[in-house]
Amino acid sequence: MQATATTPSPRPATCQMFETPLIERFSRIHPASPFIFWLPVFGYAGVHAARNGLGLLAGVGLFLAGVFLWTFAEYVLHRYVFHYLGPRPWQRRMHFVLHGVHHDFPQDADRLVMPLGASIPMGAGFYLLFRLLTGPVLVDPLFIGFGIGYLIYDGTHYAIHHFRMSSRWGKWIKRHHMVHHHTGAHARWGVSSPLWDWIFGTMGDTKAEKAAP
């Protein structure tokens, strides 16, 4: 009797993380949601900064400093928080909820940007920290730059996984991220920027780039 080849079942694109339907619903987010929520917040912060009499050059400088700070925060959060895998079951569960689910289901469009339930408390925490360090006048443009850097990160991450990147930079940053996903290399923690990977020497082996899809 001749054996017939069986077609393997396609890999599911998503999974259910929580048994409670409401929590499961809020673990998913439309990719436009961070922009819809945060851009008006940053607009209000810009108006507030102008009313405080902050000069244009100082505002632009603080804005750029905020973007720069975000690139560092992105690297640190991705490398040391999202990829932290502790020995205890609750730590492994936390890792899966925070980031492991994305590596298991990288094309899940509903889990490619940070849910507002996470980004709002984090944003509030960073704002309070910046205000404590810089005062009530300088904080707004710094926070705006930091937040725009975050939105660039979210938008870049979504585009890498769901858009056909045609520009030279787009193709390069997509391959940069695919090395992180598909080669098993503990490297390339920057998503929207390779800056800190270059600084800290975590670009990985160049052979891994050739092996990435």
pLDDT digits (tens, 9 = 90+) for 32-56: 999 999 999 999 999 999 998 888 8
The DSSP H or E segment spanning 146 is: helix 139-162
What 172-180 contacts at long range (C-beta under 8 Å, 24+ apart), as own/partner pairs, is 175/209, 175/212, 176/209, 178/212, 178/213, 179/204, 179/208, 179/209, 179/211, 179/212
How far is Cα 89 from Cα 104, in angstroms, rounded to an integer?
Answer: 18
Cα separation, 131 vs 119, in Å, equals: 18
Number of domains in the chain: 1
Is 180 inside a domain boundary?
no
Residue 168 binned pLDDT confidence (cut-offs 50, 70, 90) = very high
Domain that holds residue 51: 30-166
Establish if 55 belongs to a structural domain. Answer: yes
Rounded to an integer, the average pLDDT of 135-161 is 96
pLDDT in tens, 78-114: 999 998 888 899 889 988 888 888 888 888 888 889 9
Average pLDDT estimate for 107-131: 92
CA-to-CA separations, 173 to 42, 96, 168, 191, 201, in angstroms, rounded: 26, 25, 9, 8, 17
Beta-carbon contacts of residue 155 (< 8 Å; ≥ 6 apart): 31, 35
The answer to the question of residue 173 being in a domain is no
Residue 68 lies in a domain: yes
Tokens of 92: 């492994």
User: What per-residue confidence (pLDDT) applies to 13?
Assistant: 76
Provide the pLDDT confidence category of residue 136 given band limits of 50, 70 and 90. Answer: very high
pLDDT at 5: 47
Is 182 inside a domain boundary? no
Residue 3 has pLDDT above 90, yes or no: no
Q: Is residue 160 part of a domain?
A: yes
Summarize the confidence of residues 154-159 as an average pLDDT: 95
Q: Is residue 210 part of a domain?
A: no
Mean confidence (pLDDT) of the chain? 88
Distance CA 33, CA 116 (A): 8
Question: Is the predicted pLDDT of residue 193 greater than 90, yes or no?
Answer: yes
Q: Is residue 52 part of a domain?
A: yes
Q: Say what the pLDDT of residue 111 is.
A: 84
